[in-house]
Structure formats: structure tokens, C-alpha cells
Structure 1
Amino acid sequence: MSIGRRLLGKGIAAAGGLAIPGLLAGEAQAQRGQDTLRLVFRDAVPNIDPYFNSQRTGLILGHQAWDGLVHRDPESFRVVPALATEWRWVNPLLLEFTLRQGVKFHDGSDFTAKDAAYTINTVSKPETRVATPSNYAWIDRAEADGDFKLRLHLKRPTPAALDYLALVTPIWPQAYRERVGAEGYSRAPIGTGPYRITKFDVASGVEYERFDGYYAGGPKGRPAIRRITVRFVTDAATELTELLAQRVDWIWNMNPDQVANVNRIPFLTTLRQESMRIGYLSLDAAGRSGDTPMKNLKVRQAVWHALDRKTIAEKLVSGGSRVPVAPCYPSQFGCNADAAIQYDYNPEKAKQLLAEAGYPNGFDIELTSYVQPRQWSEAVQSYLQAVGIRARLNLLQVAAQIQRAWRGELAMSMGSWGSYSINDVSAILPNFFGNTNDDYARDETLQRLLVEGGSSADEAVRNAAYSAAIKRITEQAYWVPLHTYVNTYAFNRQLDFKAFPDELPRFYLAKWK
């Protein structure tokens, strides 16, 4: 039997185990009467401030409570006004903004250009140690000109600047944050968004209440639902159990094997949507974790040939998942698939390469992963073991794996990256290959190419640099793009919820039917 068929069998067995004792008796009790939406997420965020976590859950939680200077429309991807009403490029290194008047922070204080300049200048400094420095490495400085004018100076031309400002640059209140300090702010944050955070506990969750002072004309609008509660759980089984027991109203990224079963429950429904997130396998070519076999190019090439990524995408992830040819999402600017070296699924070739590298009998290695459902990690483990790479699977929580990755401890690790939903390769390639905490290649030639691609407003120059970078990444087999993600949502049928391709649930748009 092929590995692919064995994996399918596992999935079918898993799907058959959905038990729903007593849940069909009586109608579901929605939270309409309490005007509360109850959510659950599988990965707790160590810091609710969006600048200090790189988790998708953190981005989602922050998006409900903070606004940036501009906003990206989820339907058209067009950048529209938010805290700024107008902007113009004075030259390729200078953006000028006219800011909205009458905006209040959640504590009732006024938003001004000083808050925007303070935020931008703080997060762009290396000593601030934000979670993803590459998101702000293009910023030189910001200057307030009175209360409602802001000048943003760039270190280099950055065509995607407005996307970064829309998606990953929420504005802090200067006076409040300076008074309570960074730690105090993370415990009791305030922003200008449509919801205000009334409670945050790293171990248990977050509570929100609608901010009735949200500014007129704000791009997110006035939420229909007054309160949101968020709880953190540790695993997918608990998450699904909570939904079935009607203790929560919404979950996401459940095992797609369960979709048909969940849809048979009268009070629940599901929704699937491909996102910009891609799954990946990072290989320690630089030897940050020690004298690992991954330092050998032939071993890394063997890993690529060992994986039947097409079967993983189509049969396990399913729902329209694709195998990215290049190490980026296909729609991103600069994601040139034609530049990528391609590797077919060829277990015999993988074994041959391992023998040539000096490992005719294979080797043992740790494979860390936070990817759920666990069958996806087990699939990669099975394919590797079939060619002699005996991977010991170590499933971790997201935050724990990120910490180990940043300490340089991971010889081989699985994860996913959503590029903060920014449709430009500058939101993915520099994070993994730009001499950052996540860079396990440490390739100076590659780093120079990424700087070149990120330092020009000329599309031809950018494309040429990024194409050369993609060729080198794939030629050196540094990092394996496994599949695109297809988000699987399950929620109460009485909830009007819409999903978007940018993988950013907008609960401020949800309402009870």
C-alpha cells in the first residue's frame, strides 16, 4: 500500500470518531439574548499587543481593537482611509498623511499625530525587539507636524508600505503607554478600534466590549454584537468538544475530516476558504542547531524528493489546497514560480542522494511542529521515514516552537506563515532568509538579493532580485513550501459570519441572524 493510501485511511478513521452524545435533543441556545459571541482559539498569545507576537491569533485579536493609519478593504484589497483620511507620496522616500480629527482612544483621550509618530518611531527601532522586525525595517522615522499632519520617512523605496501600515502597524496612545509602561500596556491595552479589550489573561483568554465611541466613518463600522469572549485551549479535540457542547459559537482550522459530521448537526455549519498562508518545512542549512545532516545540500534535496506534497495538499488539507512552486504565496508580488527549481516526488532519488551524502542507512533527527491537525505532521514524518530519515515528531504549542526556533535549536521544523496577509514577497522572504531569528540559511548572497528587491520602486528591478532569490532558495533546498492553507470554520448557524482570503476573521462584521 502506498504512503498516500495509508494516510487517507488514517483520515477516514479519524473522521469516524465524532461522538455527539445528547446534543441533538432540544434546540441550540445561541448567545443572541446575551449579545455575546464566544470564540475559542487553540494557541494562547503571550502578549496581546500585536507588535510582540507573530502568531496569526495575535493578529486577529489585535485587529478587533486597534486601527492603523489606513485600512485594506478585505474584498478589493484596496487601501482606504482609517486614522488618516488622505495621503500622498511626496517622493519615493516620503509619505505625507492628513489625519482624522475627532478620533478617541478607548480611554477617551484624543488621537493626534504625536501618537502615530511615537508608535512608528518606537516599533522601528531594533532595541524595541518587536516580534517581526522585517515588517518595519523599511521605516526611517516619522514626524508630527501639528496635531493632524504626519510625515513618514522611508529608508528605501517600499512599494508595499501602505499594506504594512494597514495590516501590521496599529497605533498606540503615547501618553497612556508611557505612563503604564510596555508591560502595563500589554496587560490593559487600549486602541482606537471598534472593540475595546476589557480583560486579558495569557492563560485563559480575552474579553471585548463594543466601543461606542468608535469614530464616524471608520472603515470597520459599528459592531452589531456587543461583547466577545475568547478562550484559549490546548488542542483541537477540546476545541471541537466545546463547540459541540454549545459552550462556544465559533472555531476555526478544525480537522477537515470532521466537516461532513459537523454539517449534520442542526445547529452548526462549516465554511472553507483558501488563505494566503502556506505550510513549510524549515531545514537548518546553517547548522544553528549543531552538526546536523541538514547542513549537507544533498540531504536537503533528499527531503524535497521524499515528500509527496501533492497528496498532502489534495487529500489531507483538501478544499482547494495547492502546492506552491516557490517559497511564497502565488499572488504575492515577486513570487515568480518560473524562477524556482522544482523537485518531483521521487523516493528512490531521495535514497540515492542520502547515500551520496554519506547516509546510506539514513539517520535520526527531531522534527518539531505546531501544525494541526496532527495528521499533517505525521504525513511528513511518514514520507521522511520511508526514505530513511527517522524523524522523531515533537508536537509543540506555537509560542514554544517560536521560542526554540529563535534560539536556533531546530534542525527540522514544520510551521506556517501567512505573511500578515500582505500581498508582496517582502512579507515572507526577508523573515526567513534575511538574517533574522527565523533564518536557518544565513546565506549572505541571498540576504543581499532581498535587500536589493526591497530597496527599489522599480518593478523590473524588484522582480529580477526576487527571482534570483527564489532560484537560490530552491536550488539550495533551504525551505520546503508544502501547501497552501484552507481555513475550515465551524460555527453556530444563527451567526452571520463571512470569511475572507486574507485569513483575518472580522468579528466586528458578524451579527446574529
Structure 2
Amino acid sequence: MTLTTTTMARLLGASALALSLAAGAAHAGKADDTLNVAFAAEPEPLDSYKIAGRQGLILARHIYDGLLYKDLNTGEFLPALAESYEYVEPLVMEFKLREGVKFHNGADFTADDVVTTFDMVTDPEYGTRYAIYVDWIDSVEKIDDYTVRINMSKPFAGALEMLADALPIYPHEFFAENGSEGITRTPIGTGPYKLVSQEPGVRYELEKFEDYYPEGPKAGASIGKIVVRTIPELNTQYAELMSGNLDWIWRIPPDQASRLESRVQVISAPIMRIAYVGFAPLALDAESPIAKQEVRQALIHAVNREAITKAFGGAGSEVLNTPCNPAQFGCEQDVTAYEYDPEKARQMLADAGYADGFEMEMVFAAMPRPVAEAVAADLAKVGVTLILNEQQYAAGVGQWRAKELPAFFSNWGSYGIGDAAFILSNFFGGGADDLIQDPQLAEWLTTADTASDREVRAENYSMAVKEIVDQAYWMPMYNFNVNYGLSPDLSFTPYPDEFARWWEASWK
């Protein structure tokens, strides 16, 4: 008999799992105070300004610090390398820096490090991966050794989000001399762990930095060493986790998570990414049924989002009522909720002139077909025939922007950032993806996106979110979640930004 590659892989995976169970749990991580971690994808070189994937950024956030730190439990921005900050002018932020902080190479942290870092990474030739991270910075001034000013090129409500770990500070002498290549070859930061060895993309060893400043937001790390390996084969990860050779893995598929949970700790936690169906009243010359508010509201009532979320979203997912993630600042939750009510949906369609239903195309991209089919099946029950058109994301967005389709089913991750500025304005602020073009919405969002006063921001986001929901411009579906596999000995708390904070982890 000839075995296919798939069959062989399954047999090998099963064998690996059987061997791990026979071996028993050694719990070597706790025994030698080493947190053993596996990623399926290779971490990118450890220059935060050029990393796109979570793997590299997680490592970087243990090695480097930013001026501020965001507490996701409270939404507050806490002091980190900066003890305090204030807006001295609408576009000028002044930071008082913390004294006594050391880099991993023994250098003292001063204003020179902030100025050199930002001067270099804002230069277009540096190649910072995401322009949105730095294009709001015009210049940085050193006032004295422990005071700097950031002059903004434009109002940007996400400035504090960026300064909270997304823009780490590098040692100025080393960075100026060696640039990005040097910082990836020898990552040097002020974070709670220092890198002691790396085989790029394969293996990384970090040790607790004993000179980490005690007032820092990441202070108090209890685990002495972290070893991170790239293990592409998930069955190998599962086997090593159950045998005690690994203590932490993530992004476990739901079916595998249910099999593992009797052997190890499995935690399902929500993340920033959300699924949604966007409606386009202006599409097809505004002659689609979607142009009517009552029709949009009826479609939401017709879809059993609770059942779809339970079937496809995972244990950590919840039905959403807003066009943003509840974990994001500004994502108002006191809004109209559209309960599943097919009878009401039928009546609303009849009142809108569609008693016999209608046919409508929905393009979907970056979403599983079974989820789109479930939406179509529910709409069919109220007389709406949904023509499903699966596209690559770029092609789907192209049709959306060309106003060629009335509905687009996809997802949005907000760059993993807990602020509504990174989702609402993209779809309702008057840009290319806005097929509503409501001037009042755009005004509210512009005010919220550019104000430095968080109360003003929250008030304007609240008005915008409530209007979007009342007009049923979107059908929010659910938030995505991630499954983590943990050693029974490990205490670990996941967060919705999907950045593992191992400095908070501890052994039981």
C-alpha cells in the first residue's frame, strides 16, 4: 500500500503524541526556571521598526521599552522610559525622562537615545515598515539630558498608542554607528529581558535583566530564562508540550485545542481582530435594496449571529454589536442591539417594499466559506438570496472601493491596537473604504482622531458609533480568538492585543 504525504504526516503526528503521553510530563521548564516557547512561524530580525509579525514583536517587547506603556486592564498609559508627559502646545509633546535607567550593554539612558532613535526611524531611507507608526513625528528636540519634545507634523490621536511600546528606544551610540543591521545582530534595549544568544529565525535565549529599573511597568519578572524555538510542525509542538519539553504554544486550531485540554492547560482568549459585513448604500448607483436603512436593519435581525459565533468563532469569541472591538478605547457599547428575529426581519422587508425578498451579491475575503454560507442560509429563510463571491482580499477591496458590490464580508485587525482610531475612520471617515460618506460621521471621527483630550475623543467616538449602529451601516459579527497551550505549571494571562507578556508569567 502506498501512503500519501498527508496520511504519513497524520501517522507521524499520532506517533509523536503517543510517545509524549508515554513519556509523561517532565515539567523541565519549572525545574530549571526556563520558560520554553515555540512559534510555528519564524520571528523576523529584531528591529521593531521593521517587524510585521507578532512573533518578532513579542520578543522585541521583552528586550526593548518605549517612552510609555499601556495597561490593557485599565486603558491607562503608564510611565515607562518617560516619567511624565504633557502637551505644551497642540502639536508639541514634552517628556520628562526617567533617570538611572540602564541599557543591556551598561550604557545610561538619556535624551540622546530618544532623539537619535526617532531621527533615524523617521527618515524615509530607514524603511520603517508601517508609515502610520512614525509619519506623525516632524522632529524631536533635546531640551536637556532628561527632557525631550516631540514636534508633531499633524494631529494624531494614536500618538500615545505608538509611544507605548510600538516605538522602542535604542542606545544612541550603538544605533547611530550600526543602524538597523547592528540592532538586529545585537539587540540592545532597556527591557526586562536581555537577549544572550540567537540563531535568527530558529532559536532565541533571553535572561532576566537584573538591572531593569524597579519603577518600570514590566518590573517584577519572576522567570529567569526564556528559550524560544521555531517549530513549524504543530504535531511536534503538541507532543513537546505534553511531554514537558515546551511550556507555551499558541494559535492552536479549535479541534486540536479540544483534544489537548485534558492533557495540558488550554486558554481561549479574544483578540482585536473582528469579523464584519459592511453594507454599501452608495454602491450600484445607490439603487440596491441596501440603500434603505430598514433593509439593512432587517438583514441583521435575520442572521443568527449567536449561533454562527458559537460554531465558527471559538470559545473566546463573542457576538459584537459595534463596528469596533470592545477592547478598544472609544468603542461605545451602549448601543442598539439587533437580536435574532427572522419574523421581524420579514416584516421589515415587507414594509420596505420587498415582501418577496430580493437577490444580492456578497463578496467575502479572508473569511472561511462555511461562515459566509451560514450567513446566506439565514438570509434565505427571509427571502433574500445571497450570491456568494469569494475573492482575494485585494480584489475584494478593489470592488468595494469601485462601488460595485452592496456587501463585503471580511475582517479587520486594527494593527492589534486598542484604539477605535485604527478602525472607525478607515471605514466611515470619508476615505476610499467609506461607502457611506456621511459628513456628520466624518466630522465626529475627525474630531476624535485629532483631539488630545481623551474625554473629547470618547464623546465623539460614542456619537459616531451609535449613529453607525442605528443606521445599520455594518453587521458586526464576532471577535476572533486565539487558543494557547500551557504547561500545567505555568501561570499566564493573555491579552487582546496578542502580545504575550511573559514578564508577567510565573510558575505555580
SS in 1 for 2:36: strand
Task: Give the match for residue 325 of structure 2.
Answer: 329
Aligned with 1:508 (options 478, 503, 507)? 503
* Contact 2:24–2:243 (CA under 8 A) maintained in structure 1: no
Aligned with 1:83 (options 81, 84, 98)? 81
**Aligned-pair distance for 1:67?**
0.4
Deviations 1:361-387 (A, max 9, x none): 655855324xxxx6xx63234323664
Gaps of 5+ in 1: 1-16
* Contact 1:56–1:418 (CA under 8 A) maintained in structure 2: no
Aligned with 2:209 (options 202, 212, 216)? 212
Q: Distance in 2 between matches of 1:127 and 1:442?
A: 37
1:112 aligns with 2:110: yes
Counterpart code for 2:204: E
Deviations 1:34-78 (A, max 9, x none): 553232335555554333345444543322121011223455554
Counterpart code for 1:312: I
* Contact 1:276–1:419 (CA under 8 A) maintained in structure 2: no
Q: Distance in 2 between matches of 1:345 and 1:239?
A: 44
Q: Distance in 1 between matches of 2:21 and 2:178?
A: 49
Deviates more, 1:486-495 or 1:464-473: 464-473
1:225 aligns with 2:221: no
Task: Give the match for residue 165 of structure 1.
Answer: 163
* Contact 2:363–2:396 (CA under 8 A) maintained in structure 1: no
SS in 2 for 1:254: coil
**Aligned-pair distance for 1:176?**
3.3
Aligned with 1:149 (options 141, 147, 150)? 147
Decide whether aligned partners of structure 1 residues 474 and 79 sit closer, same or farther in structure 2, where only a CA change above 3 A counts: closer
Aligned with 2:252 (options 232, 251, 254)? 254
Q: Distance in 1 between matches of 2:37 and 2:279?
A: 36
Q: How does 1:408-419 map to 2 (within 5 A)?
A: 412=408, 414-417=410-413
Decide whether aligned partners of structure 1 residues 64 and 328 sit closer, same or farther in structure 2, where only a CA change above 3 A counts: same
* Contact 1:156–1:456 (CA under 8 A) maintained in structure 2: no
Q: Distance in 2 between matches of 1:407 and 1:29?
A: 53
Counterpart code for 1:225: G
1:470 aligns with 2:465: yes
**Aligned-pair distance for 1:99?**
1.9
SS in 1 for 2:450: coil
Q: Distance in 1 between matches of 2:333 and 2:146?
A: 43
Decide whether aligned partners of structure 1 residues 179 and 344 sit closer, same or farther in structure 2, where only a CA change above 3 A counts: farther
* Contact 1:95–1:151 (CA under 8 A) maintained in structure 2: yes
Decide whether aligned partners of structure 1 residues 301 and 364 sit closer, same or farther in structure 2, where only a CA change above 3 A counts: same
* Contact 1:434–1:447 (CA under 8 A) maintained in structure 2: yes
Task: Give the match for residue 7 of structure 2.
Answer: none
**Aligned-pair distance for 1:151?**
1.6
Q: Distance in 2 between matches of 1:501 and 1:363?
A: 33
* Contact 1:280–1:416 (CA under 8 A) maintained in structure 2: yes
Q: Distance in 1 between matches of 2:329 and 2:203?
A: 35
Aligned with 1:70 (options 68, 79, 83)? 68
Q: Distance in 1 between matches of 2:61 and 2:497?
A: 13
Q: Distance in 2 between matches of 1:126 and 1:115?
A: 19
Counterpart code for 1:29: A
Decide whether aligned partners of structure 1 residues 240 and 308 sit closer, same or farther in structure 2, where only a CA change above 3 A counts: farther
Q: Rg: which structure is higher?
A: 2
1:492 aligns with 2:484: no
* Contact 1:40–1:251 (CA under 8 A) maintained in structure 2: yes
Deviations 1:367-418 (A, max 9, x none): 324xxxx6xx632343236645454668x9xxxx7x8899999995633526
Decide whether aligned partners of structure 1 residues 172 and 307 sit closer, same or farther in structure 2, where only a CA change above 3 A counts: farther
Task: Give the match for residue 4 of structure 1.
Answer: none
Q: Distance in 1 between matches of 2:411 and 2:103?
A: 35
1:382 aligns with 2:374: yes
Task: Give the match for residue 277 of structure 1.
Answer: 272
Q: How many aligned residue pairs are there?
A: 476
Decide whether aligned partners of structure 1 residues 342 and 39 sit closer, same or farther in structure 2, where only a CA change above 3 A counts: same
Q: TM-score, normalised by structure 2?
A: 0.72
* Contact 1:132–1:431 (CA under 8 A) maintained in structure 2: no
SS in 1 for 2:20: coil
Gaps of 5+ in 2: 1-12
* Contact 2:41–2:230 (CA under 8 A) maintained in structure 1: no
Decide whether aligned partners of structure 1 residues 213 and 23 sit closer, same or farther in structure 2, where only a CA change above 3 A counts: closer
Q: How does 1:383-402 map to 2 (within 5 A)?
A: 383-384=375-376, 387=380, 388-389=385-386, 391=388
Q: Distance in 1 between matches of 2:437 and 2:243?
A: 50
**Aligned-pair distance for 1:327?**
1.3
* Contact 2:317–2:480 (CA under 8 A) maintained in structure 1: yes
* Contact 1:321–1:483 (CA under 8 A) maintained in structure 2: yes
* Contact 1:282–1:478 (CA under 8 A) maintained in structure 2: no
Task: Give the match for residue 5 of structure 1.
Answer: none
Deviations 1:68-115 (A, max 9, x none): 112234555544332123444445544322223343434444432122
Q: TM-score, normalised by structure 1?
A: 0.72
Q: Distance in 2 between matches of 1:461 and 1:219?
A: 27
Decide whether aligned partners of structure 1 residues 21 and 392 sit closer, same or farther in structure 2, where only a CA change above 3 A counts: farther
Provide the aligned C-alpha RMSD in A: 4.9
Counterpart code for 1:166: A
* Contact 1:37–1:227 (CA under 8 A) maintained in structure 2: yes
Aligned with 1:24 (options 9, 21, 24)? 21
* Contact 2:428–2:438 (CA under 8 A) maintained in structure 1: no
Deviations 1:433-480 (A, max 9, x none): 56889x475958455543221222456653454245435655786654
Task: Give the match for residue 9 of structure 2.
Answer: none
Q: Distance in 1 between matches of 2:48 and 2:341?
A: 39
Decide whether aligned partners of structure 1 residues 225 and 454 sit closer, same or farther in structure 2, where only a CA change above 3 A counts: same
Q: Distance in 1 between matches of 2:482 and 2:150?
A: 35
Counterpart code for 1:233: P
Counterpart code for 1:509: E
* Contact 1:283–1:300 (CA under 8 A) maintained in structure 2: no
SS in 2 for 1:25: helix
**Aligned-pair distance for 1:207?**
1.0
**Aligned-pair distance for 1:491?**
0.9
Q: How does 1:87-486 map to 2 (within 5 A)?
A: 87-123=85-121, 130-136=128-134, 138-154=136-152, 161-182=159-180, 185-186=183-184, 188-197=186-195, 198-199=197-198, 201=200, 204-210=201-207, 212=209, 214-217=211-214, 218-221=216-219, 222=221, 224-231=223-230, 233=232, 239-240=237-238, 243-244=241-242, 246-259=244-257, 261-265=259-263, 268-273=264-269, 275=270, 277-281=272-276, 307-317=303-313, 319=315, 321-330=317-326, 332-337=328-333, 346=342, 363=361, 365=363, 367-369=365-367, 378-384=370-376, 387=380, 388-389=385-386, 391=388, 412=408, 414-417=410-413, 420-422=416-418, 424-430=419-425, 439=433, 443=437, 445=439, 448-458=443-453, 461-463=456-458, 465-470=460-465, 473=468, 480-486=475-481
Q: Distance in 1 between matches of 2:175 and 2:412?
A: 32
Task: Give the match for residue 12 of structure 1.
Answer: none
